Chains A and B, each alone.
Chain A
Amino acid sequence: MNILEVENLSVKVEGKLILKDVTFSLKSHQSHILFGPNGSGKTTLLSALMGLPSYEVVSGKISFMGVDITDKSVEERAKLGMVISFQNPPEITGVKLGDLLKLCLGKSPIARFNEEEQKLIEAFRLTKFLDRDINVGFSGGERKRSEILQLIFLKPKLLLLDEPDSGVDVESLRLIADEIQRYVERSGSSALIITHKGDILDHIKAKYGCVLLAGKFHCFTHPTRIYEEIKKVGYEECVACRVRKTEGWKFEQGK
């Protein structure tokens, strides 16, 4: 079963064609890892999946849990269970992180967190940030922790994670990755995770990896294998290698 199906998707940003005729699908109850050099279109892809404005879908179709969402708004997609963590989330002056977390939970800002929620906030080391304005003066790692916690509170079915591991220290990385893994496993949801590094693979159980290069998908295979290749030979060589497959993940059938 696939949670997401993307067919022949082309996306323009500021009038420039960034994704060209992309076709792929994401599996239910699985985490997927997306590699790709800077500027290859990874953020563009996630943004287009989430329906963010200024990412113009010029052709193609996106189906989420069997529903065609190509023309649906951000809010509708969010309500269907799709969430995104931002690579560069905006600062919102005056809006407190605590209030936003409550809204993510579907609570009113005057409601209280329950014990379990409080524990998770504490685990994310964000208790002291509840009264702070969203992202204002947050360090890179603090932003990531706040993004991921918001997403978990939203109880999504598909998590689109844009480099949750960049700029975070070793401990935070372990925390973020473990919590993502725990959530995905428990809720039976799926994830699409952009990364440039391999460390996150130690914590997140993912069998599915691929590479985005110049607006096209390549190398549908195990993420650790992709990462090893990239480290050895770089992206260009990697996508030209013999494990090159452009039509989706097939290898798991033998297992």
Chain B
Amino acid sequence: MSKENELIKVPHKILEETYKAGMEADEKDRSGTFYHVDQSTVYSKVNELFQGKIELMDTKAALQKYSWLEGYMWKLVDKNKDEFTRKVAEDWSGGYFMRIMPGAEITFPLQSCLLITRKNLEQRVHNIIIAEEGSKAHIITSCVQHSSVPDAAHLGVSEIYVKKGAMLNFTMIHQWSENTLVRPRSAAEIGDKATFVSNYVCMRPVKNVQMYPAAFCNGTDSTVSFNSILYGHTNSLLDIGSKAVLAGKGSKAEMVSRAIAREGSKMIIRGLIEGNNADCKGHLECRGLLLDEEAFLQSIPELIARKKGVEITHEAAVGKISEKEITYLMTRKLSRDQAVSLIIKGFMDVGILGLPEALNAEIKRIVEASAEAD
């Protein structure tokens, strides 16, 4: 019997919807799969090719198994940061615990899905990811609200540890609904010669997302990249930031965001790079496209230098879609709509996410489907 049949435990309708958010039903192409629906973990499995290389389970189960895990909880994210972190600290339903074992190279992406199917639910999860020394992995996590659910909230705390020499590429895809309140609270710690890539893709309308994940580059030659592709429409309110604190010698941060705003959506893109070591580098790039007069886009870059020698730069450009580009494409026999859609798709270039080819194609599919759905 093939393994993927076990996913039958997850209702078909849900699988279909999560597929649109990047979840692969065929587990052969994934190193592991995790599903947390509403308030409980319903599925958690490691592909047999990667047994012993990955640990994947509910965070609560992991806390039972490993006493040391307590030391990883609420270490990077302050329990008392705000009302949302306090709520999660008080009462939570689990979350994913992912551990990439030392030196393990996970060639297939590890996937997880946090799903809301119940009305008025406030989902509260606490996720822990540990990329052990010298490990290498790609994680794709999809957060989805079932389309029939009217109001809901998602409060998610994530603490990510990328240890010495490890490489972790973490892609989060949000597919909420027009009535979801979303408050992720994440932070990552990056060790010596370690690399953390944090990608965020939000394509569907959402009521209100506010997040400001932080990365602490404490290790020597540690690197962080934050990339985001944001498509705000139908009155969505997105306040998305990212913060990098460069403490390690030779540490580097790069932030790239592409934002499109239309139809009354309001987007604020923040970015903060703080250079605390004389030998560190950072660059922040934000590009925003406004498609109509009802939308609003604001870019707020902040650069802080605390030591001589810090080298942090930024470039930001927000504005209307270029008529010159539209016209140029129209001279190539494209209609105005085709030209606009091609520019939008190109603008939301998934190439900035640094994904392996297969995953790249999938995220591209999601982005293009959303761009075309208007």
A residues with CB within 8 A of B: 50, 52-53, 73-75, 78-79, 83-84, 86, 89-90, 92-96, 99-100, 103-104, 106, 133, 150, 154
**For residue B351, which residue of chain A has the nearest CB?**
A94
Q: Is the CB of B323 within 8 A of A53?
A: yes
B residues with CB within 8 A of A: 287, 322-325, 327-336, 342-343, 345-349, 351
Q: Is the CB of B348 within 8 A of A94?
A: yes
Dominant SS at the A interface? mixed
CA distance A100 to B339 in the complex (A): 10
Which residues on A sit within 8 Å (CB–CB) of B343?
92, 94-95
- On whether A52 and B327 interact (CB within 8 A), knowing A75-B336, A78-B333, A94-B347, the answer reads yes
Q: Is the CB of B333 within 8 A of A94?
A: no
Looking at the assembled complex, report how far the CB atom of B132 sits from the nearest CB atom of chain A, in whole angstroms. 35
CA distance A100 to B329 in the complex (A): 8
Q: Is the CB of B332 within 8 A of A93?
A: no
Q: Is the CB of B346 within 8 A of A93?
A: yes
Q: Which 5 A-B pairs have the closest CB atoms?
A: A94-B346, A95-B346, A94-B349, A74-B330, A78-B333
**For residue A101, which residue of chain B has the nearest CB?**
B332
**Contacting residue for A83 out of B287, B323, B331, B342, CB 8 A:** B331
Q: Is the CB of B333 within 8 A of A92?
A: no
Q: Is the CB of A89 within 8 A of B328?
A: yes
Q: Is the CB of A79 within 8 A of B333?
A: yes
- Could you list some 13 contacts between A and B, CB below 8 A? A52-B327, A74-B330, A83-B331, A84-B331, A89-B328, A92-B343, A92-B346, A93-B349, A95-B343, A95-B345, A133-B346, A150-B332, A154-B333
**For residue A156, which residue of chain B has the nearest CB?**
B333
Q: Is the CB of A74 within 8 A of B327?
A: yes
Which residues on A sit within 8 Å (CB–CB) of B336?
75
Most chain A Cβ neighbours within 10 Å, of B327, B335, B347: B327
**For residue A81, which residue of chain B has the nearest CB?**
B333
Which residues on B sit within 8 Å (CB–CB) of A133?
346
Looking at the assembled complex, report how far the CB atom of B327 sits from the nearest CB atom of chain A, in whole angstroms. 6
**For residue B336, which residue of chain A has the nearest CB?**
A75
Which residues on B sit within 8 Å (CB–CB) of A96?
346
Looking at the assembled complex, report how far the CB atom of B287 sits from the nearest CB atom of chain A, in whole angstroms. 8
Q: Is the CB of A75 within 8 A of B346?
A: no
Which residues on A sit within 8 Å (CB–CB) of B334?
75, 103
Q: Is the CB of B342 within 8 A of A95?
A: yes
Which residues on B sit within 8 Å (CB–CB) of A100?
329, 332
CA distance A86 to B333 in the complex (A): 15
CA distance A103 to B333 in the complex (A): 8
CA distance A108 to B90 in the complex (A): 53
Extra A-B contacts (20), CB below 8 Å, given A90-B324, A92-B343: A50-B331, A52-B327, A52-B331, A53-B323, A74-B330, A74-B331, A75-B336, A78-B331, A78-B333, A79-B333, A90-B325, A92-B329, A92-B346, A94-B343, A94-B345, A94-B347, A94-B348, A103-B333, A104-B332, A154-B332
**For residue B328, which residue of chain A has the nearest CB?**
A90
Which residues on A sit within 8 Å (CB–CB) of B327?
52-53, 74
**For residue B324, which residue of chain A has the nearest CB?**
A90
- On whether A78 and B325 interact (CB within 8 A), knowing A92-B346, A93-B347, A94-B345, the answer reads no
Looking at the assembled complex, report how far the CB atom of A214 sits from the nearest CB atom of chain B, in whole angstroms. 27
Q: Is the CB of B328 within 8 A of A92?
A: yes
Looking at the assembled complex, report how far the CB atom of A175 sits from the nearest CB atom of chain B, in whole angstroms. 21
Most chain B Cβ neighbours within 10 Å, of A86, A92, A104: A92
Which residues on A sit within 8 Å (CB–CB) of B342?
95, 99, 103
Looking at the assembled complex, report how far the CB atom of B212 sits from the nearest CB atom of chain A, in whole angstroms. 26
CA distance A61 to B142 in the complex (A): 57
Q: Is the CB of A86 within 8 A of B332?
A: no
CA distance A95 to B328 in the complex (A): 12
Looking at the assembled complex, report how far the CB atom of A172 sits from the nearest CB atom of chain B, in whole angstroms. 21
Which residues on A sit within 8 Å (CB–CB) of B325?
90, 92
- On whether A78 and B330 interact (CB within 8 A), knowing A90-B322, A92-B325, the answer reads yes
Looking at the assembled complex, report how far the CB atom of A200 sits from the nearest CB atom of chain B, in whole angstroms. 22
Q: Is the CB of A75 within 8 A of B330?
A: yes
Looking at the assembled complex, report how far the CB atom of A77 sits from the nearest CB atom of chain B, in whole angstroms. 8
CA distance A84 to B329 in the complex (A): 11
Q: Is the CB of A86 within 8 A of B328?
A: yes
Most chain B Cβ neighbours within 10 Å, of A75, A96, A100, A104: A75
Most chain A Cβ neighbours within 10 Å, of B323, B333, B345: B333
Which residues on B sit within 8 Å (CB–CB) of A103?
332-334, 342
